[in-house]
Structure 1
Amino acid sequence: MKYSMSKTFLLGFGFFGVSVIWSVYNAFVPVFLADRYLMAAGFIGVFMTLDNIASMFIQPVIGAWSDRLRTRIGRRMPFILVGAPLAAVAFILLPLSTSMWLFFLAAVLLLLSMAVWRTPVVALMPDITPSPYRSQANGIINLMGGLGAIIAFLGGASLYDMNPAYPFYLGAGLVLVGAVLVFLFIREPKIESGAEQPEAKKGDGGSKSALRDILKNLAIVFTSKEKSALMILLAIFFWFIAYNGIEAFFTLYGQNHLNMTASDAARLLGQLSLPFVLFAIPSGYLGAAIGRKRTIMAGVALMTIGVAAMYLLPVETLVISLTKLPVLGNVPVVGAIMMGLGVAWSLININSLPMVVDMTDDDHIGTYTGLYYFFSTLAAILGPITYGVMVQLFGNRYDLVMLISPIFFFAAFVFMSFVRRGEAKKQTAS
């Protein structure tokens, strides 16, 4: 198996489609719920966690199922060809719904269909990429995902002003284009027939077998004498709690602590996102050059320091304007910190999935991809809830978000220090 950068870019269109869908969903569905259906903020918060709840339970099972499946077009492709079109249809139906119940049903169809194909499309990256190049390939995949988010936010905002349904049409169209490109240009490697193949072909409970497989591998992770897989999964859990807590409350932090407008606070999040996208590919090459563990731990350390600085520095210092940049606009001190956090987050995010999948063999890549998403999604559910309770307990002090997060980042750093496996494997001649 040879590494092909061009194929990785083409595969990235699948993740591009996923990113467009979720970016449009997160940006505009809360507006529909509040303005069209007059839903209270608390219920909107619950509604917006449904995608993470669905993903947490479905994606690991789908990942394990795709490991077992054998078809003429591959083991991942059937999930993509079913899930992507269903997601596009559901996404179009969302803005066209005339009642809350229809909106809810369309959202449920979207969440289920997205959960069906996200893990298989991500698992395709290590399937077609030799171990030594997986960090670089993941950088390309995340670059494409970041471009999808930028197009969704910038293009979607303009389209929304024309017609609230247009961003959803854009997302549906792009996700179909991405799926078609993956199907046409990506060929899955041949998997040797094994003892489990007949069971997968019969269709007599493939999902049940997959559930048993994921539970078996989860038990192995927890009971194995060598704890590297457990340590990195716990590290992933803690750094995603920290990151998701910041993301969920950053706008309110900007409004209530920095005395900014909501739009200026949201713009600061863009000042994190763009450096993440720009540094996605270099982060992969850095992980290959100095080691994935070292790169991740450097990123976690930088996140800890940067977020702590936002708590320790006085507001008067944080809001000092440093410069104006194209696309990013005005960059205050806190914006410069956010740009540094974007680079640090790329060091972590680009190299962690390759570490996880290189702790197993090629037959269980989907299963371990599912475990990665289980722990990160569980954190995405618990993070905002934990932060919300803490902020409320201390009298709506949103600056405490920047005190709580370094604690979780430090915990992730400690767990990562115990990881002993997951570096790139030596490539064998094919």
Structure 2
Amino acid sequence: MKKTWLLGFGFFSISITWALYNAFVPFFLDKFLTSTFLIGFMMTIDNYFALFLQPWIGKRSDHTKSTLGKRMPYLLIGMPLAALFGALIPWHTSLLTLVLFMVLMNLSMSLYRSPTVALMPDITPGSKRTQANGVINFMGGIGSILAFGGGAILYEKHHSLPFLTASILTLICLCILLLSIKERRDAVSDVPLEKQEKISFKSQLNRPTLFLLGAIFFWFLSYQGVEALFTLYGKNHLNLTEGQSSFSLAFFSLAFVLAAIPSGLLGSRFGKKRIISIGVIGLIVIFAAISFVDALLPLRLLLLAGGICWAMININSYPFIISLGKEKSIGTRTGIYYLISSLAAIASPPLMGGLIDLMGYSILFYFSSGGMVIALLFLLGVKDKGLARTADDTSAASSL
């Protein structure tokens, strides 16, 4: 568990960077673009790289051999580059330079995101993975709180300060990971796959996995659009300041942090599917309720409740998708997980942005609630009996 907490610094750096990116980059784009659809489309740039790069890199890391291990070389390259280009974003001088810095930052992050995630099951015994996912997402949630809370304060002092701070923290986190995580020493199994053992994407798509991927797509479709467009929703629909809009998201992240570890424990005790289902039903209700809110206090209270429900979903979904396959396919399944979530993130912001252009900002949370309904229907179709899984997943599945 000590190594898991240290690994959490990798998720901390990813979360603080993405939170700041989603909170403040829309304001930069808003200076050049008048269409919410176009802003939403531009916010999906990272997911185009994730769509092609992250599955390939996740699979490639399964076969990587180096003195640093299978995953760490990708962190060593990607994190410094992401820190550099992230710090340059607020210094854009035109739409062209803004988009250039966005593309380069997102390309850099795509180099290490899947390997960072795959490190968790690599160094964690099967019986502890759901709890470990709660721990590392707890660390990620801390990053989001700092981004939305502290970032709002820094942004009002100077637009560059949140991004510069995130870049410095990313480099510090890389140093912590390099000093504390030794893959050959810490991994449960650090043997790269031989060429004859290559795992194909197609071989992983059994029926339960397909249903779960359908659910993952639709709950990310709902979540990603809200995350990317909420600050504009607060500014243009609720008449909040840019700082108030960003700070409101800190309530969602705070609840996520507080619920992260308990959600992992509940998933291990009562089954991942059951806990995820409760979270999905909760967000259906909460997103629908937010549509009727026009005051700051009830909005933030609902966001608190929403963060708890999102923790129940997000903490258990990655271990769930891993549990439906074999140990040797961890990197490949990590890539597939990010492929599907990236497809949702590509579709959601421009789709929601287009609907907002046509129907107004009130449609944002109606759409998100409907997406969660479809996710629940797919989740109900997941049956995992008879599939290969680790010992803890077998016991957890008995309660699904």
Aligned-pair CA distance for 1:134: 1.2
| Alignment check: 8 A CA contact 1:248 1:384 kept | yes
Residues 196-248 of structure 1, C-alpha deviations (whole Å, 9 max, x = no match): 28x9xxxxxxxxx8xxx5xx32x2344x4xx1111111100011111223334
Aligned-pair CA distance for 1:181: 1.1
- Do residues 150 (structure 1) and 145 (structure 2) align? yes
Which residue in the other structure is 1:324 paired with? none
Aligned-pair CA distance for 1:266: 4.6
Aligned-pair CA distance for 1:34: 4.7
For 1:125, which of 120, 124, 143 is the aligned residue? 120
- Rounded Cα–Cα distance in structure 2 between residues aligned with 1:231 and 1:373: 16
Aligned-pair CA distance for 1:426: 1.4
Determine helix, strand or coil for the equivalent of 1:363: helix
Q: Alpha carbons of 1:358 and 1:187: their partners in 2 closer, same or farther (altered >3 Å)?
A: farther
For 2:21, which of 11, 21, 25 is the aligned residue? 25
| Alignment check: 8 A CA contact 2:216 2:341 kept | yes
Q: Alpha carbons of 1:163 and 1:289: their partners in 2 closer, same or farther (altered >3 Å)?
A: same
For residues 239-250 of structure 1, the aligned pairs below 5 Å read 239-250=219-230
For 2:303, which of 338, 344, 358 is the aligned residue? 338
- Rounded Cα–Cα distance in structure 2 between residues aligned with 1:159 and 1:254: 19
Counterpart AA for 1:376: S
Aligned-pair CA distance for 1:423: 10
Residues 69-128 of structure 1, C-alpha deviations (whole Å, 9 max, x = no match): 111211101101111111122223334455654444333221111000011001101111
Aligned-pair CA distance for 1:7: 0.8
Aligned-pair CA distance for 1:413: 1.1
Aligned-pair CA distance for 1:306: 2.2
For 2:61, which of 66, 69, 73 is the aligned residue? 66
Which residue in the other structure is 1:325 paired with? none
TM-score (norm 1): 0.81
Determine helix, strand or coil for the equivalent of 1:124: helix
Task: Give percent identity, aligned residues only.
Answer: 42
Aligned-pair CA distance for 1:307: 2.3
- Do residues 378 (structure 1) and 353 (structure 2) align? no
Aligned-pair CA distance for 1:144: 0.9
- Rounded Cα–Cα distance in structure 2 between residues aligned with 1:255 and 1:97: 23
- Do residues 116 (structure 1) and 96 (structure 2) align? no
| Alignment check: 8 A CA contact 1:292 1:423 kept | no
Q: Alpha carbons of 1:40 and 1:259: their partners in 2 closer, same or farther (altered >3 Å)?
A: closer
| Alignment check: 8 A CA contact 1:293 1:423 kept | no
Counterpart AA for 2:42: F
- Do residues 404 (structure 1) and 367 (structure 2) align? yes
Residues 169-211 of structure 1, C-alpha deviations (whole Å, 9 max, x = no match): 21111111111111111122253365328x9xxxxxxxxx8xx
Which residue in the other structure is 1:204 paired with? none
- Rounded Cα–Cα distance in structure 1 between residues aligned with 2:2 and 2:171: 20
Aligned-pair CA distance for 1:14: 0.7
Which residue in the other structure is 1:14 paired with? 10
Aligned-pair CA distance for 1:63: 0.4
Residues 250-288 of structure 1, C-alpha deviations (whole Å, 9 max, x = no match): 455556766666655554433222111111111001111
Which stretches in structure 1 are left out of the alignment for 5+ residues?
Answer: 200-208, 321-329
Which residue in the other structure is 2:194 paired with? 195
Counterpart AA for 1:414: L
Counterpart AA for 1:417: L
Which residue in the other structure is 2:275 paired with? 295
| Alignment check: 8 A CA contact 1:143 1:281 kept | yes
Aligned-pair CA distance for 1:354: 0.5
Residues 279-299 of structure 1, C-alpha deviations (whole Å, 9 max, x = no match): 111100111111111110111
| Alignment check: 8 A CA contact 1:63 1:366 kept | yes
| Alignment check: 8 A CA contact 2:9 2:173 kept | yes
For residues 247-396 of structure 1, the aligned pairs below 5 Å read 247-251=227-231, 253-254=233-234, 264-311=244-291, 315=292, 318=293, 331-332=297-298, 334-393=299-358, 395-396=359-360
- Rounded Cα–Cα distance in structure 2 between residues aligned with 1:240 and 1:382: 10
| Alignment check: 8 A CA contact 1:355 1:423 kept | no
- Rounded Cα–Cα distance in structure 2 between residues aligned with 1:33 and 1:261: 17
Counterpart AA for 2:373: F
| Alignment check: 8 A CA contact 1:240 1:380 kept | yes
- Rounded Cα–Cα distance in structure 1 between residues aligned with 2:242 and 2:83: 31
| Alignment check: 8 A CA contact 2:39 2:353 kept | no
- Rounded Cα–Cα distance in structure 2 between residues aligned with 1:268 and 1:124: 32
- Rounded Cα–Cα distance in structure 2 between residues aligned with 1:269 and 1:187: 35
Bigger Rg, structure 1 or 2: 1
* Residue range with higher mean Cα deviation, 272-281 or 403-412: 403-412
Q: RMSD in angstroms over aligned alpha carbons?
A: 2.8
Determine helix, strand or coil for the equivalent of 2:297: strand
| Alignment check: 8 A CA contact 2:218 2:375 kept | yes
Q: Alpha carbons of 1:196 and 1:345: their partners in 2 closer, same or farther (altered >3 Å)?
A: same
Runs (4 or more) in structure 1 with deviation over 6 Å come to none
Counterpart AA for 1:8: T
Which residue in the other structure is 2:40 paired with? 45
| Alignment check: 8 A CA contact 1:291 1:423 kept | no
